[in-house]
């Protein structure tokens, strides 16, 4: 952990700092810490009390729900210019999820006491925090609906569409079957079967350790709003967590 190592101008462009007055920003600046984390490192663990707000400068973290028996579900992925830790700021109670880095990450940490004082004195910053909480709650509801109403095939299709990125005209998906399984609430073996079926149908192809989406329209048609009773790759919504290695 080191003290702040980035310019104040960069901070002012990030939420919720963008809502602060010059005086408010100058007051909290000394308390902000610049932290670096290695890949697959827990930043916050479930059942720990909230200690502050974290703003991501680089890298991605994932929100992981665990049951204590080796099963986990990736509830969300959070990237640069986004923040986490906001839910526990109000009640200060234990966290429901673990926050773990996907790759090397740099974050800014603001202690809970500083954030609460800030929110009490600046309604615009408080609204930014509240809007983020509401948006993430809506995302959680949509994910629960997807787990409950679509089969494994449809859930894998959704993940491929949501996590893919365009590179040289192709849509690449560079997460593996293990992570996809944790995101859709299915076993890794089931996900491998689904991906193999998609490859056989010409919807995706494998390139080294990545997948390339070939037929986006067909995957869209198998999203969470549709279920295919004819698919042999259906999954129970009650299996909401998958065992990981």
Cα separation, 182 vs 165, in Å, equals: 20
Q: Check if the beta carbon of residue 233 is closer than 8 Å to that of residue 151.
A: yes
Q: Where are the domains of the chain?
A: 2-146, 151-243
As assigned by CATH, the class of the 151-243 domain is mainly alpha
96 vs 54: which has the higher pLDDT: 54
pLDDT digit string, tens, across residues 2-20: 445 555 667 788 888 888 8
Q: Check if the beta carbon of residue 117 is closer than 8 Å to that of residue 77.
A: no
The per-residue pLDDT for 182 is: 83
The per-residue pLDDT for 175 is: 84
Taking the model in full, what pTM does it have? 0.62
What is the pLDDT confidence band of residue 103, given thresholds at 50, 70 and 90?
A: very high
Mean pLDDT of 177-193: 85
Q: Cα-flanking dihedrals φ and ψ of residue 80, to 5°?
A: -55, 145
Sign, Cα dihedral of 211, 212, 215, 216 = positive
Report which DSSP code applies to 94. B
Please report, rounded to a whole number, the percentage of residues in the chain having pLDDT higher than 90: 24
225 vs 202: which has the higher pLDDT: 202
Mean pLDDT of 205-233: 69
Taking the domain 2-146, which CATH number applies? 2.60.120.10
Q: Check if the beta carbon of residue 58 is closer than 8 Å to that of residue 113.
A: no
Arithmetic mean of pLDDT over the chain:
80
- pLDDT higher than 60, residue 233: no
Burial bucket for residue 229 (CB in 10 Å: 0-12, 13-18, 19+): exposed
Helices assigned H by DSSP within 84-241: 87-91, 112-121, 123-149, 152-163, 177-184, 188-200, 216-220
Cα separation, 120 vs 20, in Å, equals: 12
pLDDT digit string, tens, across residues 141-175: 777 766 654 688 888 888 898 888 888 888 888 88
pLDDT digit string, tens, across residues 23-38: 888 888 889 899 999 9
pLDDT digit string, tens, across residues 104-143: 999 999 999 998 888 888 999 989 888 888 888 888 777 7
Instruction: Please report how the helices 112-121 and 123-149 are oriented relative to each other, as an axis angle in degrees rounded to 10.
Output: 110
Q: Check if the beta carbon of residue 47 is closer than 8 Å to that of residue 24.
A: no
Query: Which of 54-58, 59-63, 181-185 has the lowest average pLDDT?
Result: 181-185
């Amino acid at each position: 952990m080191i003290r702040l190592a980035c310019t104040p101008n960069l901070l002012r462009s990030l939420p919720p700092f963008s809502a602060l007055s010059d005086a408010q920003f100058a007051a909290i600046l000394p308390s902000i810490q610049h932290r670096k984390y290695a890949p697959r490192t827990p930043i916050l663990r479930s059942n720990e009390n909230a200690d502050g707000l974290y703003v991501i400068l680089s890298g991605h973290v994932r929100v992981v729900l665990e049951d204590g028996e080796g099963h986990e579900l990736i509830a969300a992925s959070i990237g640069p210019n986004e923040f986490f830790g906001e839910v526990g700021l109000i009640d200060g109670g234990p966290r429901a999820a673990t926050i773990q880095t996907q790759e090397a990450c740099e974050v800014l940490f603001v202690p809970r006491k500083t954030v609460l004082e800030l929110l009490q004195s600046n309604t615009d910053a408080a609204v930014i925090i509240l809007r983020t909480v509401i948006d993430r709650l809506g995302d959680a509801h949509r994910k629960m609906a997807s787990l409950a109403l679509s089969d494994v095939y449809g859930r894998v299709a959704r993940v491929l569409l949501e996590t893919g990125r365009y590179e040289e005209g192709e849509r690449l998906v560079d997460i593996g079957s293990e992570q996809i399984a944790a995101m859709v609430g299915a076993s890794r073996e089931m996900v491998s079967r689904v991906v193999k079926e998609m490859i056989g149908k010409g919807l995706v192809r494998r390139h080294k350790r990545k997948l390339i989406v070939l037929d986006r329209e067909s995957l869209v048609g198998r999203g969470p709003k549709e279920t295919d009773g004819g698919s042999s790759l259906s999954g129970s919504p009650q299996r909401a967590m998958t065992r990981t290695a």
